[in-house]
Structures are given as C-alpha cells and as structure tokens.
Amino acid sequence: MAGLSGTACFNTLRSPLTRPSPSAVLILCVPICSFKSDPCYFPTSLGAGRSNNLVCSARNKRAGGHMIHAIGAEANPTLPPAAKTSASQAVLKIWRDADAVCFDVDSTVCKDEGIDELAEFCGAGEAVAAWTSRAMGGSVPFEEALTARLSLFRPSMSDVANYLQSNPPRLNPGIQDLVKKLKAKGVDVFLVSGGFRQMIEPVADLLGIPYKNIFANRLLFDSVGEFQGFDLEEATSRSGGKATAVAQIKKDRGYKTLVMVGDGATDLEARQPGGADAYICYGGIQLRDKVAEAADWLVLNFDDLIQEVD
C-alpha cells in the first residue's frame, strides 16, 4: 500500500523506525503478530507519543493489525520538504472562520480504505488495494480505478451487509472530538467520499452527521441483491467528482468559507475557485508526498485541528 515502509517485526517487541529518526523505537502493545509467518510493517506517519496501526503483510498490508506506539523525542516522521506542518495565519483564519468542513472518509475519518476492506472480506484484497493506491495517488482516472476494483470482486448486497455486521467503522483518534467541537461552534460537517454510501452511513451515525450531508457513491444491486455496478449520476463517481461535490455544497447552501480535509489527490482537487477555500492534508494513515506538499496545511493527528477551532 502506498506510503508504507518499515522493517519486519515478527515476534520482536522493538523495531527501529526506518523512515523516521533512527533513534526512535516501536513498542508493540500486543506481544506478537498473530500472523507470524509474514513480516509486519508500520506506517511512516507516526510522531512522538502517537499511536497508530501496524499493517500486517499477511493481511495484504491493509490498515489493520496491532496497535503500535512510537516513543522518543526524535520519533518524528520524515516529511516532504515542502510540506506546511505549521499553518500560516491566513490558513488559520480560514479554518477558524469556516462555516462548513468537508471530510474525506477513507484513511481520514476512518483508519481503513473501505473498498479495500470490503474486497479483502470478499477475497480480493491485494489486487484491489493496488488499484486504490494508484487512484488516490492520482496516477489513473478515478472512474477507471473504481470500475476496475469493483470488477475484481463484484460485491453482492449480502456481502456488504455481512461485512458491515462484522466490521464496524474504525474511526481515527480525535475525529469524534473534532466533529463535536465543530458542530458546537455551528459549523456544518460533511462527508465527501469516493467510497460507498452503504458503508459510510454507519460512520455518519457515529459522528452524528445527517445522511443529507453525505456525498458519496452508491452500489447498485438487482432484484435478488446481485452486484450491478455503481450509480454514475453521483458526482463522486468520476475524476474531479469531489471538487464538483464540494462546489455544489458551497453554492447550494450559501457557505462563505469551506475547508476540505483529506489524504488524497482527489481531496486536493476540491481546493479551487468556488470550492474549498483551503485544503488540509491528514497524513495520519497515508502520507502521499505530492499531495502533502500541495496542501495548505499538513497534520498528522486531529489534535492540531481541535486546538485551532476557536
């Protein structure tokens, strides 16, 4: 999966960070990986004192597995040189004045890429994850990648229902507090995703976001619940779709200042005239160098945003 590197952990309790400072170490909160036959890797987006997910290669390197904890004053990730890890006063003003904030869902609000998780549940995880990486990195048109991924496993209605029953949403630390604080301030919160509404509605339930504030794709099924494709009328089903959705939100609801928060190239596209006034890159799960460098502000955890809401 793009943005991941590391050293094998096997049964060890400590492993050196490779991309971050060499003096930092990892301590596994769980003694050993239960998939001992393959090495495990950790994300590059860990900072001092922060927790994140260990990514197990035995599970197709998906964003799952055991929790790990980076310690040491030098346990900061190696960031893209042009990334703005401190917001300018102009960007802070936009963030504080925003009357609407749009969040990407996969690898931003949630720890996982939803389509990758569903594909793994259906037995096609590795092949689909490779397409997801290409799509979020901007190397292929989004609609091409979405069609290709779905064709690899063609999820039925029962597949989706069974997946959701056994895999409740895994929210990133701090997102519930951030959404709660934004709503208390009177800021409207939206979920804008290239994922599927059927999988995002449970996320909205956890965050107290009304379904009308979800802009996402929709899986289509026939009368017996077999996969039929996805709704091509949704703006988010094609390249530039998030930008279209965000511009529509801003225009239709009359917002003066709107911010987009996400991790991928499709989120960055939302920052344009008539759309998002600022783009904040969340790099706590996936850290894509080109996207991070183009962002108005790069954050590795939501605490940075919570502190600047007021």
Residue 293 near residue 80, CB atoms below 8 Å: yes
Percent of the chain as helix, strand, coil, to the nearest 5:
35, 20, 45
Q: What is the DSSP letter of 185?
A: T
Map residue 38 onto helix, strand or coil: coil
| C-alpha triplet 33, 71, 60: angle, nearest 5° | 30
Distance CA 303, CA 84 (A): 16
Instruction: Give the Cα separation of 31 and 49 in Å (integer).
Output: 19
Q: Which residues are catalytic?
A: 104, 106
Q: Counting every residue, how long is the chain? A: 310
Distance between CA atoms of 245 and 235, rounded to whole angstroms?
Answer: 6
115 closest CA partner among 42, 198, 235, 13: 198
Pairwise CA distance, residues 201 & 103, whole Å:
14
DSSP state of 305: H
**3-state SS, residue 188:** strand
Q: Which of 29, 36, 25 is nearest to 59 (CA)?
A: 36
